[in-house]
Chain A
Amino acid sequence: MTRYRTVDLLVTVLIGAAFGVAFLGYGQLYTLIGPLTAAFKPAEGLLAGLWFLPAMLAGLIVRKPGAALLAELIAAVMSMLLGSQWGWGTAVSGLMQGGGVELAFLLTRYRRFTLPVAVLGGVLAALLEWGWEKLAYYQEMSWAFSGTMLAFFLLSGALLCGVLGWAATRALVATGAVDSLAAGREHSRAAAV
């Protein structure tokens, strides 16, 4: 179960790389909520969950220890090399987000890959990432607003990372693109027998 075949390794790192590229396109989303976040920064937490998706998808698809963390780190490193304005903060974010999702799968000893586990992963990632951002970026934000931000982070982690990531994995399984991986195999067995 823990042995990484070449395909497992590649799927993990390529999920990270693909999101590294897709994230450039997501920048557009921030312009949508721009007016809101200019007046009320904590609202940016509403989109936070999107950034944890590489970890969630790699965890749910590859189902091996370390996959979630590695995919998120690759996405972070790619952002950094492309010139992300948060510099090394991005790497720590990758560690927090990937680590949070990883932790949820670790708690089930990599046996359960269900919607509740995915939501838990999103929530843990949100919690850790919020902690890091509070420390590094929002030291001077008052605790009332920081608390509001945490609420937005947790909501976003649960929905945009947990629920959306789980749904995206199911959609990918349906396309047949992951037939040779753990997530697809479960589906194949059900369909082929």
Chain B
Amino acid sequence: MERLRWRPLSRREPTIDGLDLEIPSGQRVLLAGASGSGKSTVLRALAGLLDPEDGEGEGLLPAPARPGERGLLLQNPVHALVGATIGRDAAFGPENAALPRPALHEHSSRALAAARVDLDPARAPLDASGGQQQRIALAGSLALDPELLLLDEPTSMLDAPTAEQVRTAILDAAGEATLVIAEHRIEPWLPHADRLIVLGPQARILADGTPGEVLAQQRETLVRAGVLEERAVGAPDTAGTTSTRATSADGKIVAALRGVTVPDRGLTAPQELEVRAGRLTVLTGPSGAGKTTLLRLLTGSRTPEHGEVERPAPDRIALVPQDPEHSFVAATVREELRASPWASDEALAEQLLERAGLAHLAGAHPHRLSGGEQRRLAIAAALAQRPALLVLDEPTVGLDARRRREVLDLLREARDRGCAVLAASHDELLVAAADDQHALPAPRPDAAATPAPRRIPADALNPLTLCLIGILAAIGSFAVQSWQGGLLALAPTALLAPLAVRSLPGAALRLAPILLSAAGLAWTTALLGDAPALSAQAWLVGLKEAARITAFVAPGVLALGAVRPTPLGDALAQRLHLPGRPVAASVAALVRVSHLGRQWSTIVETRTRRGLGGARSPRLLAGATLALLVDTLRGAEQQALAMDSRGFATATRRTWAEPSPVGPADLAGIAIAAGLLIWPLLAELLVGAA
């Protein structure tokens, strides 16, 4: 790259200002720099993914000639995952490269093995743990044999042992490929790097050389750039351990868990925990151990299976979510501090603004702050509620050394105000500074295994056949003219229903809303029809309408129970020949439903905890929708980047990892669909009022 310059449309100053960089093939480069130094932008430039529509650039590299030639791994693997199953996720790149099916499967299974993904390929990647997700994402970027692998802080969201596993997987899998690793915590990577480049503001190179040289000669620069800490790297913060901090050992118990278990969330061993006023308690444990569940027990969002929970009144509990944007509701930083009805003290708010180092940003938009500033704002806003208990989920994750320290200072401030502070964290800085530590045991490995759903006859049908059944039945239902005909029209649906029902509770869950709606329609028709309201005649018209609407929706709802987004996408693309990119993108969006559902509950819970209203408050729902959209749209940008690095941008003619088979069963399905189309008409002729 020569004289690379880049100014995003949203900024006045360029984020990269004249960068010259030459990386010989096979080199392993460590790109260090504090948050905001432009590391990510440099990686995007190297990937050839800076979009000229997004800003002004000079010296931009062209997009890769071969799909997947330059792999990119992002900080948060959630943005890289596109498949409903691990196997399909790994196949995404080869599909984009339009590889034929045998080669495609060979590429994806080799990539999964290289990235040491040891999970069942049929599992959902978005339900895996953070470390597993990052390895699945790694497999995704390896699947097209990249010559250059670009890694954007790939381990910064993981706890130390998991990060080590992912690091090893990356280094082993990279083989001969050129590697560029952007990181703000450089020391674990140093032994593996051939070259260390330190970036300052606007991606200006501050130091460049072998790691040994740079560390020996330019230590000062590294410390000033916020990449190394002044103390010896990795040394624990000596500020206080449990035994030396005698001042508040007698702090009042603010919240406690006594013999609590939540087996379905991995908390099988009874938990005893006391959270005391004026103390910082850190909750540790590997991912999947139930840290978040334990926090939710303490905030009152969950009840335990066994045991007792003590906690303060709701207005004395404050919660800071892992993503601070999930809690924001106001248009300025100052308003954000006073958004909660429990944050009534104006002087306190001003004071906290000062302490959080946000006074100069009081008029800024919360969502436009940097990551570190957003964390501090969320904590300050929580403290403005004068909580007795402050609960935080991973308050320093993904931040560089300086920003982590600033967050810690704010937590100390909270503690010194007499607040009981409980943080779930794997950050050694927080753990070292904690007054008390509560470690959760690792979950049993088989805890997450779910039994495969029972196979039903409907599973043998192509999704398009299942759709056809619903559509033709809906059209046929318009023939219903009388209540007798309507009831008879329902007979085949009732007879065929067992073929599409996986379990009785599941069927009840799907059918109950239909029957409720049908009853509602009968009532409305009897009340607001042309016949005298609620007369016998009006009720019969209502009954006819109820039968008609059930005949309209029930076959479709039952058949859709066997339709999954991925096979539906396969069918739409391969059988109906709909354009590949929109279909693939739609499937990627639909398989995120459970992830989006989790985000939604966190957002609603966070806001309820701030006293902004209950789950039925229109204002809360409006704010929560906006927060979910902010989260989704920011994610979309990252996701687009990850997908384009896997060859999606040019994948107008892509292949599909799985066929969309049509067999003899589908003939029977089509016959059923045709039958449901004409049966209501026949029924009407048979028994309808002549």
Point out the residues of chain B lying under 8 angstroms from A9, CB to CB: 581-582, 585, 640
- Max chain B Cβ within 10 angstroms of own Cβ: one of A141, A174, A177: A177
Among A38, A57, A82, A188, the residue within 8 A (CB) of B629 is A57
Give B576-590 interface residues, CB cut-off 8 Å to A. 581-582, 585-586, 588-590
Give B117-144 interface residues, CB cut-off 8 Å to A. none
CA distance A174 to B592 in the complex (A): 26
Tally of contact residues, A, Cβ under 8 A: 72
Nearest CB in chain B to that of A168: its residue: B626
Tally of contact residues, B, Cβ under 8 A: 81
CA distance A125 to B528 in the complex (A): 24
Point out the residues of chain B lying under 8 angstroms from A24, CB to CB: 597, 600
- Max chain A Cβ within 10 angstroms of own Cβ: one of B365, B528, B590, B618: B528
CA distance A40 to B615 in the complex (A): 25
Among B560, B615, B640, the residue within 8 A (CB) of A81 is B560
Segment with Cβ contacts to A, from B186-194, B219-227, B546-554: B546-554
Among B528, B589, B626, the residue within 8 A (CB) of A10 is B589
Nearest CB in chain A to that of B581: its residue: A9
CA distance A102 to B417 in the complex (A): 55
Interface string of A11-39 (1 = CB under 8 A from B): 11111111111101110110110000011
Residue B248 is within 8 A (CB to CB) of chain A in the complex: no
Minimal beta-carbon separation of B193 from chain A (angstroms): 31
Residue A106 is within 8 A (CB to CB) of chain B in the complex: no
Nearest CB in chain B to that of A17: its residue: B589
Point out the residues of chain A lying under 8 angstroms from B242, CB to CB: none
Point out the residues of chain B lying under 8 angstroms from A65, CB to CB: none
Residue B621 is within 8 A (CB to CB) of chain A in the complex: yes
Q: Are B9's CB and A177's CB within 8 A?
A: no
Q: Are B629's CB and A87's CB within 8 A?
A: no
Minimal beta-carbon separation of B591 from chain A (angstroms): 9
Q: Are B331's CB and A174's CB within 8 A?
A: yes
Interface SS majority for chain A: helix
Q: Are B365's CB and A140's CB within 8 A?
A: no
Point out the residues of chain A lying under 8 angstroms from B368, CB to CB: 174-176
Point out the residues of chain A lying under 8 angstroms from B632, CB to CB: 14-15, 17-18
Residue B53 is within 8 A (CB to CB) of chain A in the complex: yes
Point out the residues of chain B lying under 8 angstroms from A109, CB to CB: none
Residue B394 is within 8 A (CB to CB) of chain A in the complex: no
Give B322-357 interface residues, CB cut-off 8 Å to A. 331
Nearest CB in chain B to that of A53: its residue: B625
Q: Are A28's CB and B621's CB within 8 A?
A: yes
Q: Are A83's CB and B560's CB within 8 A?
A: yes
Minimal beta-carbon separation of B562 from chain A (angstroms): 10
Give B496-544 interface residues, CB cut-off 8 Å to A. 509-510, 513-514, 516-517, 521, 523-525, 527-530, 541-542, 544
Among A10, A70, A83, A138, the residue within 8 A (CB) of B640 is A10
CA distance A38 to B643 in the complex (A): 48
Point out the residues of chain B lying under 8 angstroms from A139, CB to CB: 545
Residue A189 is within 8 A (CB to CB) of chain B in the complex: yes
CA distance A17 to B648 in the complex (A): 20
Q: Are A7's CB and B589's CB within 8 A?
A: no
Interface string of A160-176 (1 = CB under 8 A from B): 00001000100110111
CA distance A53 to B129 in the complex (A): 33
Interface string of A40-55 (1 = CB under 8 A from B): 1110000000000000
Q: Are A83's CB and B561's CB within 8 A?
A: yes
Q: Are A41's CB and B636's CB within 8 A?
A: no
Given known pairs A7-B636, A176-B10, A192-B11, the reply for A29 and B621 (CB within 8 Å) is yes
- 26 A-B residue pairs with CB within 8 Å: A7-B636, A10-B585, A10-B643, A14-B592, A14-B633, A16-B589, A17-B596, A18-B632, A21-B596, A22-B621, A32-B616, A39-B527, A61-B633, A70-B582, A77-B586, A85-B557, A86-B517, A87-B553, A87-B556, A89-B552, A136-B549, A175-B630, A176-B368, A177-B367, A177-B634, A180-B637
Give the 3 A-B residue pairs with the shortest CB-CB distance, closest first.
A87-B556, A175-B367, A87-B553
Q: A70-B582, A77-B586, A89-B474 are in contact. List 20 more A-B contacts (CB 8 A).
A: A4-B582, A5-B51, A10-B643, A12-B585, A14-B639, A15-B632, A15-B633, A18-B632, A21-B597, A22-B628, A29-B618, A41-B527, A42-B528, A70-B586, A83-B557, A137-B549, A141-B528, A174-B367, A175-B365, A177-B630
